[in-house]
Amino acid sequence: MIAFLIAFVMLPVLAVPAPAEPESFSFKDPKNVNNIIFKLDAPLEGINGSANGISGTVTFDPQNPGATKGKIVVASASLTVPNAMQTTHMHGRMWLDVENSPEITFEARELKNVKTDGNKTTADVVGTFTLKGVSRDMTIPVELSYLKDKLGERLGGQQKGDLLVIRSTFSIKRSDFGIQPGKMENKVSDTINLTLGIAGASAK
């Protein structure tokens, strides 16, 4: 009888689903699709290129997207433009100095203006952007898409898990990061427009 009463009392407690745990998403993409596109539009010359050496981890809770935190890392040497010689110059000491500054990072600390509609969340991410050894606090707009149980579909059924897609468009100034400030602005624009499209995987 006592056992029955305990079971009766505990039943509603057990029936309540446990709150979802935040998931950790790795952005090292086995499909090599993750990329950041950069565009510089100077009066005399436009430079377009992309970077695909992306890694990092983001913690995302589907029940509380506003608590998202993480760090995205881009290998400086993966920045490529259509001209091989120009790519070599860009990697050199005068510009990105990839030998001494091998990583470009953004570390997210806080999300503001969070709006969630279904599996999509838009927010302004407050964090620290580090380029060529110079760190600056920045706020950038992002769109997060949580794709539950889509990892297997993406990888051809190899693994089960969820995906988190992050998209963002923002700009930085190279002069803010000590990259040839005030020099050659007719050919290499000070403003660098960045478009980020990356997918992270949380395997189960």
Contacting residue, 85, 137, 157, 182, with other proteins by CB under 8 A: 85
Examine residue 42 and tell whether it contacts other proteins (CB under 8 A). Answer: no
Residue 74 CA to residue 105 CA, distance in Å, equals 6
**Encoded tokens for 197:** 């499209």
Q: Which of 24, 50, 105, 175 binds other proteins (CB under 8 A)?
A: 50
On the CB side of 27, CA atoms within 13 Å amount to 28
What is the smallest separation between the CB atom of 50 and other proteins, expressed in angstroms? 4
Q: Using alpha carbons, select from 58, 50, 94 the residue that is nearest to residue 75.
A: 50
We find the least distance from the C-beta atom of residue 81 to other proteins, in angstroms, to be 7
Least separation in angstroms between residue 155's CB and other proteins is 9
Binds other proteins by CB under 8 A, chosen from 58, 123, 140, 198: 198
Instruction: Answer yes or no: are the C-beta atoms of 88 and 99 closer than 8 Å.
Output: no
- Least distance to other proteins, CB of residue 200, Å: 10
83 binds other proteins (CB under 8 A): yes
Judged by CB under 8 A, does residue 147 bind other proteins?
Answer: yes
Shortest Cβ 52–other proteins spacing (Å): 7
Q: Which of 58, 72, 165, 172 binds other proteins (CB under 8 A)?
A: 165
Kindly list the distances between the CA atom of residue 5 and the CA atoms of 10, 11, 15, 17, 36, in Å, as whole numbers in the listed order. 8, 10, 16, 21, 60
> Contact at 8 Å (CB) between 82 and 115?
no
Report if residue 80 touches other proteins, rule: CB under 8 A.
yes
C-alpha distances out from residue 97 to 102, 131, 156, Å: 8, 10, 38
Which tokens belong to 137? 């606090």
Of 24, 64, 87, 175, the residue at the interface with other proteins (CB under 8 A) is 87
Smallest gap from Cβ 24 to other proteins, in A, equals 18
* Residues 131-142 as b or e (16 or more Cβ within 10 Å = b): bbeeeeeeebeb
Applying CB under 8 A, the residues found at the interface with other proteins are 31-35, 37, 50, 52, 80-87, 145, 147, 150, 153-154, 163, 165, 197-199
